[in-house]
C-alpha cells in the first residue's frame, strides 16, 4: 500500500511511497461529466477525480479498473445529482455494487485490489 501525505505546497493528498500511478495534483483537475451508464475514468488521472452527473441522477455507473494494486483515488461529486454504481460488481468494478452511491457534494475514497479487480470503497 502506498504512503500518502498532505503537502502544503501542493493541492490535496500526495503519494509519498510505492509505484506512482499518476503525478501529484499540481493543477486544477478536469471535470468528468458522467452520462447514463457512464464510466468514471481513473487511468492516467491524479488522485482526485471530479465528477458531475450532467443533467440527472445516474445509475449503472462504472469505475474504470485500476492499474496497480493499492491505487488510491478520491471521487468527488461536484454536481447536484447522485451517482449509483452498477449492481453487478464485475461490470461496475466496485466491490459494493449498487450499494455504493456518491451523493451530491460528497466524495468517495477508493482503493484498488488487483487480486479481485475491484475498487474497495468507504461504506456509503
Residue 102: the pLDDT is: 96
Contacts with 15 (C-beta within 8 Å, 6 or more apart), sequence order: 2, 3, 4, 21, 24, 47, 72
Residue 71 has pLDDT above 50, yes or no: yes
Residue 26: the pLDDT is: 46
Q: With cut-offs at 50, 70 and 90, classify the pLDDT of residue 122.
A: confident
Residue 30 has pLDDT above 50, yes or no: yes
The domain made up of 30-121 has a fold known as: Jelly Rolls (2.60.120)
Contacts with 91 (C-beta within 8 Å, 6 or more apart), sequence order: 60, 62
Summarised one tens digit per residue, pLDDT across range 73-103 is: 999 999 999 999 999 999 999 999 999 999 9
Instruction: Please state the rounded mean pLDDT for residues 40-51.
Output: 92
Strand-pair partners of 13: 6
Comparing 97 with 55, the larger pLDDT belongs to 97
Instruction: Please state the rounded mean pLDDT for residues 9-17.
Output: 59
SS3 label, residue 91: helix
Question: Would you kindly state where each structural domain of the chain is located, as residue ranges?
Answer: 30-121
Amino acid at each position: 500500500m502506498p504512503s500518502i501525505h498532505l503537502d502544503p505546497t501542493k493541492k490535496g493528498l500526495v503519494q509519498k511511497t510505492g509505484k506512482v500511478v499518476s503525478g501529484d495534483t499540481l493543477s486544477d483537475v478536469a471535470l468528468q461529466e458522467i452520462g447514463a451508464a457512464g464510466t468514471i475514468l481513473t487511468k492516467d488521472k491524479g488522485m482526485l477525480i471530479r465528477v458531475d452527473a450532467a443533467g440527472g441522477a445516474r445509475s449503472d455507473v462504472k469505475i474504470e479498473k485500476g492499474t496497480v494494486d493499492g491505487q488510491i483515488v478520491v471521487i468527488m461529486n461536484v454536481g447536484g445529482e447522485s451517482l449509483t454504481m452498477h449492481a453487478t460488481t464485475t461490470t461496475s468494478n466496485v466491490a459494493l455494487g449498487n450499494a455504493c452511491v456518491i451523493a451530491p457534494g460528497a466524495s468517495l475514497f477508493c482503493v484498488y485490489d488487483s487480486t479481485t479487480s475491484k475498487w474497495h470503497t468507504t461504506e456509503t
